[in-house]
Amino acid sequence: MEYDAKVITEIVSKVISACQSEEALVPVGVSNRHIHLSQEHLEILFGKGYELTKLKDLSQPGQYACKEQLTLIGPSLKAIEGVRVLGPVRKESQVEISRTDSFTLKVKPPVRESGKIAGSAPVTIVGPKGLVTLKEGCILANRHIHMSLEDGKKFGVNDGDYVAVQAKGDGKRTTLYDVQVRVSDKFALEMHLDTDDANACGIGNGCKVKIVSND
């Protein structure tokens, strides 16, 4: 049987391309509004000696969603209720919301890497036992990808690098720029987007995106 060299070349090219694409795919985790609390603020909101109640583990090792939910209030005095607390407790409290949420609360949070809260927006957190007004701590989380050390080598990136990512969701092919890479032996591979970005791209939890270039 004779084979057309051009056809064979095209088939091989498609197979290689498919393999490369699969290797470059990153699972997505959509991050809804949530709260990280310090031990001090946890006890103000829920009472002395209170401990968080784990609801379920999250994709990142050691991180979990809690049964506890709180209310956020901004300068508009409009409330967003039922905001999930994530554990474990942190050194400083932090509130992560979407741009859409910021319109409701009438706050102007900057786009920041988690933990970088200096100069960020104020917000009030209301709990069953008290309230806490953060002078700073409300942010829009930046687009980022968690990677293990092995994944960092696989993708050829280092902690702190920025990449572009292509999403093909719901008929909307979108390229997202300024995606920060966070590499650590404590991380598992996953890209985190807030609800606004995910909805704009037509993707959700479990979808996969492709790193297409370094920024």
b/e code 28-58 from CB counts within 10 Å (16+ = b): bbbbebbbbbbeebbbbbbeeebebeebeeb
114's torsion region: left (phi>0), alpha (psi -120 to 50) or beta?
beta
Among 19-23, 29-33, 179-183, 210-214, name the one with the lowest average pLDDT: 19-23
Q: What is the pLDDT of residues 125-154, one digit of tens each?
A: 999 999 999 999 999 999 999 999 999 999
Q: What is the mean pLDDT of residues 48-65?
A: 97
Alpha-carbon span 134 to 125, nearest angstrom? 8
Top pLDDT among 9 and 201 is at 201
CATH, range 26-30+143-214: 2.40.40.20
Q: What is the pLDDT of residue 13?
A: 46
Query: Does the pLDDT at position 2 exceed 90?
Result: no
Domain definitions of the chain by residue range: 26-30+143-214, 32-141
Q: Mean pLDDT in the chain?
A: 90
Are 166 and 210 a contacting pair, CB within 8 Å? yes
**In angstroms, how far is the first alpha carbon of the chain from the final one?**
48
Alpha-carbon span 54 to 9, nearest angstrom? 54
What are the tokens at 159? 């902690």
Report CA-CA distances (Å) from 193 to 10, 34, 45, 88. 36, 13, 28, 21
